[in-house]
Amino acid sequence: MATNQGKAKKTTKSTSTSKSASATSKTSAQKKAPAAKKVSAKKQPKMQSFKLAKEPEPFMYFKITDQTIYWLIIAVMSITFVLWILKVQTDIDALYTQIEYMQQQDDLSQPLVPADTDSAE
């Protein structure tokens, strides 16, 4: 008798689990289809106290920072580059002036010879 009851219980459990599995699969498919949205209460944000703002810096306030140093380096480099270009330009101008002066001296040192006076006779 005990063995019959154990088998009966096992079969009822197995059939009931198979029925419940098929029933849950049908109900889960039905639940997924409409996809009803749950309305949840919105969470309230945490209350924070107000913080005092820093005093704004005056417009003409001067403070040395990393960017100040970077801009100073760039300014010095650009001014140095401009001065170097001006020096090279004046050197080139002086060289051209010297060349023109030498050419004028050569033109004046050559004697003026009349061109083909022998053929005119």
pTM > 0.75: no
Whole-Å CA distances, 57 to 64, 72, 96, 116: 14, 22, 56, 89
C-alpha 116/C-alpha 121 separation (Å) is 10
pLDDT at 21: 52
Predicted confidence pLDDT, tens digits, the chain (121 residues): 455 555 555 554 545 455 555 555 555 555 555 566 666 667 777 777 788 888 888 888 888 999 999 999 999 999 999 999 999 999 999 999 999 999 988 887 777 666 666 655 5
* Alpha-carbon torsion, ordered 110, 116, 117, 121, to 10 deg: 170
DSSP-assigned states of every residue in 42-67: PPPPPP----PPPPPPPTT-----HH
C-alpha 11/C-alpha 17 separation (Å) is 10
Q: Where are the alpha helices (DSSP H) in the chain?
A: 2-32, 66-109
Give residue limits of the domains in the chain. 78-102
Instruction: Tell me if residue 97 falls in helix, strand or coil.
Output: helix
